[in-house]
Structure 1
């Protein structure tokens, strides 16, 4: 597996984690847990943005990695 493919796979996993944390935050009854899930989701959003930038950089530097 290429580095680009690994980064894209990681990005896909991060998007799933973000969705799960969002769902947990929305469905949690406990306000403390809701806040923790929401704050963690915001951290994951930052990680996702960094990975998206890295994917774009890889695609720019190495055109063979560009998504079809």
Structure 2
């Protein structure tokens, strides 16, 4: 498995985790837990943005990874 493929898989996993955190925040009544999940979702969003930039760079440098 190439680095490009691994980065894209990590990006998909991170997007799933972000969605889970957002869902958990909406489902809980515990305000401390709600804040924790919201913070985790925000941190995941930042990591997603960074990984998306990295994927764009990889695709520019290695055109064979486009569309995977």
Pair in the same fold by TM > 0.5: yes
2:22 equivalent in structure 1: 22
1:32 equivalent in structure 2: 32
1:54 equivalent in structure 2: 54
Normalising by the residue count of structure 2, what TM-score does the alignment of the two structures yield? 0.96
Normalising by the residue count of structure 1, what TM-score does the alignment of the two structures yield? 0.96
2:2 equivalent in structure 1: 2
The DSSP-based 3-state class of the residue aligned with 2:55 is helix
Deviation beyond 2 Å, 4+ runs, structure 1: none
- Counterpart CA distance in 2 for 1:65 and 1:39 is 32
Residue 66 of structure 1 deviates from its aligned partner by: 0.5
* Backbone CA RMSD of aligned residues: 0.8
Which blocks of at least 5 consecutive residues in structure 2 are unaligned? none
